[in-house]
Amino acid sequence: MPGTLSDAALARLFREARTHNAIGGEADDDTLRTLYDLLKFGPTEANACPARFVFVRSPEAKAKLAPAMSEGNREKTLAAPVSVIIGYDMAFYDKLPVLFPHTDARSWFAGSDEARLDRVGLRGSSMQAAYLILAARALGLDCGPMTGFDNAMVDAAFFGGTAVRSNIIVNIGHGDPAQLFPRSPRLSFDEAARIE
């Protein structure tokens, strides 16, 4: 189809992309800002963009994060050049007058019960985590996404005094293909999908 990306690009993004455990290299400020300036365009419900990002890079910040990681995720997180904490702001609606300016979208969410706000935040920030993973790959970086950490510890260490809740942490840098496990299976089309 017109507009289809090259096979090399499809391989980089999907077909040959892997979750990396051993991630090294570096990621400077410019790279992280370029990454954000791609992922920010991904769509979210009411353009609410609920995700908030902490790029954990300094030894001090890594030391603050390490105790919250599950044992299996701790060493590789300390070794990665950057670990991105992706959380979501439960008060995301306060940005809607800017993000959705053509109507009063704030009133669609402000005053909603916690369960609904948590659901919108979790959904949107999960989509934005996926945009981050694919944007990083599009920039030639490799990723190692994780949910194996203590959310309450991360929230206390990085989001204290805010309404932000952690969701996913992604190590980014340059993966070592020699340390990859074989790729795990995926569901076939017919197991996961149908056409009606």
Strands 164-175 vs 82-89: parallel, antiparallel or unpaired: antiparallel
Closer CB to a copy of itself, 79 or 139, in the complex: 139
The smaller minimum CB distance to a copy of itself, of residues 43 and 67, is found at 43
Is 91 a binding residue for a copy of itself by CB under 8 A? The answer is no
d(CA 65, CA 79): 12
Q: Which is nearer to a copy of itself, 56 or 68 (CB)?
A: 56
Rounded to whole angstroms, the Cα distance separating 72 from 196 reads: 42
Rounding to the nearest 10 degrees, give the CA dihedral for residues 77, 78, 81, 82.
50
Residue with smaller CB distance to a copy of itself, 13 or 153? 13
- The residues in 40-79 that bind a copy of itself, with binding defined as CB under 8 A, are 40-43, 45, 47, 49, 51-58, 60-61, 64
CB closer to a copy of itself, 111 vs 181:
181
| Residue from 10, 110, 152, 156 binding a copy of itself (CB under 8 A) | 10
Strands (E), 48-126: 51-56, 82-89
Min dist. Cβ of residue 180 to a copy of itself (A): 13
The structure tokens 């007058």 sit at 97
Half-sphere exposure of 192 (CA within 13 A, CB side): 5
How far is it, in rounded angstroms, from Cα 156 to Cα 87?
Answer: 12
Report which of 1, 2, 88, 5 is spatially closest to residue 45, judged by C-alpha positions: 88
Q: Which of residues 97-136 bind a copy of itself (CB under 8 A)?
A: 98-102, 119, 122-124, 126-131, 133-135
The minimum distance between CB 82 and a copy of itself, in angstroms, equals 8
Query: What's the min distance (Å) between Cβ of 111 and a copy of itself?
Result: 19
Task: Kindly identify the residues of this chain, within the stretch 133-152, that bind a copy of itself according to CB under 8 A.
Answer: 133-135, 138-141, 143, 145, 147
